[in-house]
């Protein structure tokens, strides 16, 4: 059974800092990995999706990397802003199970 | 882009009553929808996979008689929490697969429904 772990559980940084969120998973036979953003009491916003054959994806100030062999992914946020404050979730899609498995998230607070 | 809606966004009910939550794909037909449950500061847990025209597939530990799922059309799936109790209070999120998208395994998520059972 796939297990997805996110470290740290919470992170507080001053505005302007670059930061890295970590995600690890136990079953490397993933089809893809996705990073989501969740604001309090809201649904999920997809940020980046990395296919199993890819090493990284970039969107604006966000860069996600994937190392399947080691079961790890990172989400890099450059020049953080208070508007980036949210919970960030990573999720893996296993082709065999055809379902998403989510980590418990990292709650990010960017202080002005 | 693909849009998924949920209704209601919030519901408060008395213990023992049943509550129905709707999940709609607004601009695409979804043969498969998923229902998740999220506890405070916890991850999303898959409850069941809903396929149009057939019975839902429930994850281990999820009571199918407690959480009734109906996927009667290609744009609508409903989750009914029967005889709700305070421990059923949670955030329920649905998602839908868009078979017409470039990535057929991409799930589009609804905004969630906050259920509070008194």
Residue A96 is predicted with a pLDDT of: 66
User: Mutation test of the interface with chain B: which of A40, A42, A43, choosing the one with the most B Cβ atoms within 10 A?
Assistant: A43
Residue B39 is predicted with a pLDDT of: 86
Q: What's the average model confidence in pLDDT over A84-100?
A: 87
Residue B97: its chain A contacts at CB < 8 A?
none
- With beta carbons less than 8 A apart as the criterion, state whether A25 and A71 touch: yes
Between A111 and A29, residue with greater pLDDT? A111
Residue B51 is predicted with a pLDDT of: 87
Residue B102 is predicted with a pLDDT of: 55
Residue B100 is predicted with a pLDDT of: 65
Residue A97 is predicted with a pLDDT of: 65
Q: Is the pLDDT of residue A64 over 90?
A: yes
**In which band, very low, low, confident or very high, does the pLDDT at A39 lie, cut at 50, 70 and 90?**
very high
- With beta carbons less than 8 A apart as the criterion, state whether B13 and B113 touch: no
Query: In 3-state terms, what secondary structure has residue A10?
Result: strand
Peptide linkage before B68 cis (omega within 30 of 0): no
Burial of B45 (0-12, 13-18, 19+ CB in 10 A): middle
Residue A60 is predicted with a pLDDT of: 97
Residue B101 is predicted with a pLDDT of: 61
Segment 37-96 of chain B within 8 Å of chain A by CB = 41-46, 49, 91, 93, 95
Q: Is the pLDDT of residue A25 over 60?
A: yes
Residue B49: its chain A contacts at CB < 8 A?
99
**In which band, very low, low, confident or very high, does the pLDDT at A68 lie, cut at 50, 70 and 90?**
very high
Q: What's the average model confidence in pLDDT over A12-41?
A: 94
Q: What are A14's strand-pairing partners?
A: A111
Of A4, A44, A104, the CB nearest to B109: A44
**In which band, very low, low, confident or very high, does the pLDDT at A36 lie, cut at 50, 70 and 90?**
very high
Query: What is the DSSP annotation of A25-82?
Result: ES---EEEEEEEEE-TT--EEEEEEEETT-SEEEETTEEEEEETTTTEEEEEE-S--G
What percent of chain B has a predicted confidence (pLDDT) above 70? 93
Of A42, A98, A100, the CB nearest to B111: A42
- For B30-59, write each residue's pLDDT tens digit: 888 999 999 887 889 999 999 888 889 999
* B112:A98 CB<8 A: no
Low-confidence ranges of chain B (pLDDT < 50): none
Distances (CA, A) of A30 to A36, A44, A63, A96: 17, 21, 19, 9
Of A42, A89, A100, the CB nearest to B107: A100
Nearest CA in chain B to A106: B41
Question: What is the rounded distance in angstroms from the CA atom of residue A106 to the CA atom of residue A4?
Answer: 12
Q: Is the pLDDT of residue A18 over 90?
A: yes
Q: Residue B113: CA atoms inside 13 Å, Cβ hemisphere, count?
A: 27
């Amino acid at each position: 059974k796939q297990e997805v772990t996110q470290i740290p559980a919470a992170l507080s940084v001053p505005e302007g800092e670059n930061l890295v969120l970590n995600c690890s998973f136990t079953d490397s036979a993933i089809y893809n990995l996705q990073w989501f953003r969740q604001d309090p009491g809201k649904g999920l916003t997809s940020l980046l999706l990395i296919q199993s054959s890819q090493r990284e994806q970039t969107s604006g100030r966000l860069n996600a990397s994937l190392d399947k062999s080691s079961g790890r992914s990172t989400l890099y946020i450059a020049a953080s802003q208070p508007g980036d404050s949210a919970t960030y979730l990573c999720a893996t899609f296993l082709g065999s199970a055809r379902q998403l498995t989510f980590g418990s998230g990292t709650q990010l607070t960017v202080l002005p | 882009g693909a849009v998924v809606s949920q209704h209601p966004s919030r519901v408060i009910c008395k213990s023992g009553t049943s509550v129905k939550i709707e999940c709609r794909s607004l601009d695409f037909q979804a043969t498969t929808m998923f229902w998740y449950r999220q506890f405070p500061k916890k991850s999303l847990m898959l409850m069941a996979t809903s396929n149009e025209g057939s019975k839902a597939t429930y994850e281990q530990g999820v009571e199918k008689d407690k959480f009734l799922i109906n996927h009667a059309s290609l744009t609508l799936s409903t989750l009914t929490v029967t005889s709700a109790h305070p421990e059923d209070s949670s955030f329920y999120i649905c998602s839908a697969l868009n078979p017409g998208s470039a990535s057929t395994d991409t799930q589009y998520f609804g905004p969630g429904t906050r259920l509070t059972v008194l």
